[in-house]
Amino acid sequence: DGGITQSPKYLFRKEGQNVTLSCEQNLNHDAMYWYRQDPGQGLRLIYYSQIVNDFQKGDIAEGYSVSREKKESFPLTVTSAQKNPTAFYLCASSSNEQFFGPGTRLTVL
Amino acid sequence: GEDVEQSLFLSVREGDSSVINCTYTDSSSTYLYWYKQEPGAGLQLLTYIFSNMDMKQDQRLTVLLNKKDKHLSLRIADTQTGDSAIYFCAERRGTSYGKLTFGQGTILTVHP
């Protein structure tokens, strides 16, 4: 089964903690992306990576960090510096078309 | 304002056609996409159109592109209750290296 997996589906975090969201793809795509979705808004790009060991900031990178050590994996860390982290996080990968994972809902308690 | 704009809500009766509209501002857009999102789920790619095309049809879905007015529409024929979802349009700009810019989404509600 080809696709993109994200884990966990739901994540709860206390204020001041860092958390890491997992994203894995077996589509052999070079490019991967992280988006944040808030109610009533479109998706906003956090980070993207065109190739292994390289990544660029998107429109709202502050308070987030990523790594791309393997082609299949693009984990996102939400740091304590992110002031309003409660949101739905979507990972995607692409060749010509961009495909999305099922998302992780992060809630800060 | 938003680079890609959509109306927020659309309500139709089951069996009617739905038309979801989108406007964009970047004339360098190469591909334009329509995605569907059901509650609590990721985005599902429905269809896309290359910027040198005017129309694309795929079963119940018809995409129309007016490049002069930078207007994109998605028509769903014979709308069903299972079509109730949020629909996003997105543009891929010429120099964006695959990045997409999304509209804020249109919530489609289909009534029996």
Mean pLDDT of B21-48: 91
pLDDT at A109: 86
* A98 contact residues in B (CB cutoff 8 A): 33, 45, 90, 98, 100
Task: Yes or no: say if B94 and B87 are a contact pair by the CB < 8 Å rule.
Answer: no
Mutate which of B5, B35, B43 to test chain A, going by most A C-beta atoms within 10 A?
Answer: B43
In which band, very low, low, confident or very high, does the pLDDT at B26 lie, cut at 50, 70 and 90? Answer: confident
Half-sphere exposure of B41 (CA within 13 A, CB side): 12
The whole-angstrom separation of Cα B26 and Cα B24 is 6
A2: confidence class by pLDDT, cuts 50, 70, 90? low
**Quick check: B23 pLDDT over 60?**
yes
Three-state secondary structure call for residue A103: coil
Q: Over chain B, what HEC string results? A: CCCEEECCEEEEECCCCEEEEEEECCCCCCEEEEEEECCCCCEEEEEEEECCCCEEEECCEEEEEECCCCEEEEEECCCCHHHCEEEEEEEECCCCCCCEEECCCEEEEEEC
Mean pLDDT, range A46-58, rounded to an integer: 95
Instruction: Give the C-alpha separation, B24 to B48, whole Å.
Output: 15
| β-strand pairing of A104-108 with A10-13 | parallel
pLDDT single digits (tens) A79-105: 998 989 999 999 999 987 899 999 999
Question: What residues in A contact B105, CB-CB < 8 Å?
Answer: 41-42
**A46 within 8 A of A60, measured Cβ to Cβ:** yes
Average pLDDT, chain B: 91
> A48, B99: Cβ pair inside 8 Å?
yes
Please report which confidence band the pLDDT of residue B1 belongs to, taking 50, 70 and 90 as the band edges.
Answer: very low
Looking at residue A102, what is its pLDDT? 96
Segment B72-89 mean pLDDT: 97
- Judged by CB atoms closer than 8 Å, whether chains meet at B88 and A43 is answered as yes
pLDDT the model gives residue B95 = 61
Chain A hits for B91, Cβ within 8 Å: none
* Binding-face residues of A in 22-81 toward B, CB within 8 A: 31, 33, 40-43, 45, 48, 50, 58
Q: Is the pLDDT of residue B97 over 90?
A: no
Residue B36 class from Cβ within 10 Å (0-12 exposed, 13-18 middle, 19+ buried)? buried
Residue A37, classified by CB atoms within 10 Å of its CB into exposed (0-12), middle (13-18) or buried (19+), is buried
The nearest alpha carbon in chain A to B41 belongs to A102
A48: chain B residues, CB-CB within 8 Å? 97-99
pLDDT at position B25 is 85
pLDDT digits (tens, 9 = 90+) for B61-73: 999 999 999 999 9
pLDDT in tens, A7-35: 999 999 998 899 999 999 999 999 999 99
